[in-house]
Homo-oligomer: A and B are copies of this chain.
């Protein structure tokens, strides 16, 4: 039997937290002096405290931790709660990544505006699973692809809305076909889980050359030309590319932010 200060030290928590857990009934001291209210804990209660901390560390609320601590939670029930938690965390991670992408795009925009920088950046992108639809376009020009992309997104949005899936960054990918000037267009949203009516496709991890465009889509050719110029001067031939619509809300396109990514074929390096 130790007092609250000692128990807190042993458990690596604050005394305030222990009083809080007591108040919530999560971890009641083994004994309370009826005269002065002082709490005494059994050292064996450290096990409970550790489980409490572990569950809290998995991101459960104290309410949920309480439910889990009370004996009688069947493994299947715990399993269900953990699956929910995992799904939440996946959503959270995707959301934060999306925000991070947007913050980084804005950083690069500022750098472009203040200095005459090489706007092009090469980077590695991780594999990306998107719920998407595909269709061919006659050629790689914006005149040809624009309508195709728009139609695809409208269809994708319809499907996702009826499935109440949450959307993050819209992404389009353009792949040259064997059929001369025609390109295959894929458009969709990064997602976890599945959406009925949409196929999930995983865009491969790859090295890309990336540039940020700011403004309406009808002025994006500047960025494309810069990217094409870069590709030419570095000996790459433009091929498959992607568009990440990082800020693209509403019809007013004047503040749209779009990242163009040119996929660079792996130079069959070490790997």
Contact = CB atoms under 8 A, between A and B. Distances in A.
Interface of A: 50, 54, 57-59, 75-76, 78-79, 82-83, 85-86, 89-90, 92-93, 96-97, 99-100, 102-104, 106-107, 110-111, 113-114, 124, 126-127, 204-205, 247, 255, 266, 271
A90 B86 contact: no
Contacts of A106: 58, 82
A76 B110 CA distance: 8
Contacts of A266: 271
A124 B128 CA distance: 12
A241 to B, nearest CB: 18
- Specify which of A57, A83, A111, A126 lies most central, judged by the most chain B CB atoms within 10 Å of its CB: A57
Contacts of A76: 114
B103 A85 contact: yes
A120 B154 CA distance: 41
Given A58-B99, A102-B58, A114-B76, A107 B89 contact: no
A271 B110 contact: no
